Structure 1
Amino acid sequence: MKLLLTVVKHLHKPAVCTSPRRGLSSCASSGGLLAGRDATLIVGSSRELLQRLGSQVEVRADFITEEEEGAFMRELELGLKKKRYEFDHWDDAIHGYRETERLSWGAACEEVLTRVRSVAFDEGSPLLGPVHVLDLDKTGYIKPHVDSVKFCGSTIAGLSLLSDSIMRLVKEDATSEWLDLLLPRRSLYILRNQARYNFTHEILKDEESVFNGQKVPRQRRISVICRNLPG
C-alpha cells in the first residue's frame, strides 16, 4: 500500500536546545554525539517545544539486538533484491528507495514487532495489518512530508536497520519550530499526535546528515514501520 504524502519545503536553523533519550535537559548550542545509552538523541528549536511535544516524540536506542537485526535482514533481503531502487517517487516524496509490505514474519521478527506494538500503541488500538518496509539507498532520502490521515492514524513507530540517520520534524505553519532526531542503527522511533499531524518529517540525505553540529554518515537504511488505523 502506497501512502499519500504531502511534500513541504522549508528552511532550517541550527539546534539550540537538547533533550536526552528519556527526558529533557538544559539548552545547549552543541553537545556530545552518542556518548553512551543516555546520549542526547533529540535537539530542537526551543525548550518550550521539547516540553510541549514531550512523549509525542520518542527515540529508544538499542531497541533491538544485532542478532534481531540480522533476523529481519534474512527475511527481507531476498525480496528486496528483486526490486530496483527508484529515484522518481509517484508524488516526489522519496528519492532512491525500494519498498514492500509484509503481513507474516518468522518467530524472531514477530517477537520484536510485538514488542514494538506494546510500547508504541495504546492497548486495543486497531493497527494496519501489513508492516511497511522502506529501503533507502545510501544516496536516498525522504523529503519533508505529512502522511495522509486517510491511510494512517495518530501513531507511527519505526525500527532503523543498517545505518544511523537523522529525522527532521518542522511545524507546518511555523517553520521556525523544529526537532532533529538522531536515529541510531537498531533504534526505535515513535511519533504521536501533534508530531504526526502538525509537523512534516523527513530523512536527511548523506551530505546534509549533521546532528547538533556533528556529521552522522548515512549508509543504506531500512526502516520497518508500524502504524495504527485512522480513528
Structure 2
Amino acid sequence: MKNRLLAQLPQHKTCLCSIYNPHLYIVDWKDYNKGAVEISGAQRNVINAVHILNENNVKVFFDAFPKNALPITKKKRSRQCECVVFPITCDQDEWILFIETKYANSIHAAKNPDSDYPYCMVRQIKETVSYFRMKGIISENKIVHAIIAFPNLMEGFNSWVFPIKHDGIEESILDIRINDKIIIRATNHAQIVDDTNILLLS
C-alpha cells in the first residue's frame, strides 16, 4: 500500500514514517502550538492522545496528513482526516485505520451544534476513504477501520455519537459499514492484534 500511496501522493514521502512500539500515541498539535499530527512510542504529559495498544510490536506506517494533503485539481482539495495507519506489510488483506481527532474540552463542547461535531468528523473520514478508493490506493471493496476521537474526553462517548443525525437523516454504525465499507467507532483507543486484525475499543 505504501507504494500505491506514494505513487499517487509523492509529496507524502516527507510525512510518512514507520514505527513499532508496544504503545503508540497519536496527537494533533495544531490547537496547542500550531504543530502537526505526530505518532510516538511515549505518552506526552502536555497533550492527550489517541492510544493504540501494540503488544506484538507490529511495525506500522503512519501518514500524518499536512494541510491540503489530498489534491483533486490544482485548486481543489478533498476534505481529509488527520492521518492513516497501516502495517508495513499492507497490501490487500491487512487492516487500515483512519483517524480524525477533535480536542473538545467537554461533552457540551463536543455536542455543540455550531461545531458540527461529530457529523463533520465522520464526513472527513468518509471523504478521505473515498479519495483513497478513487486514486486506487485501496480497492473499492476494501473494508477499512476508522476512529473519531475526542482525546480530552476520558469517558466513553461512542453511545451518544452514533447514530449520527444531520439534516433530519440518521446514520448508524451499521449503515456506514454497509454503505461506505468503513468499520467506525467513536473512541480514543484501539488495539493491534496482528497484521490482519485490529480492534477498536469503546
What is the TM-score of this pair, normalised by structure 1? 0.28
State TM-score, norm by structure 2.
Answer: 0.31
Higher strand share: 1
Question: Greater relative contact order (Cα 8 A, min sep 6): structure 1 or 2?
Answer: 1
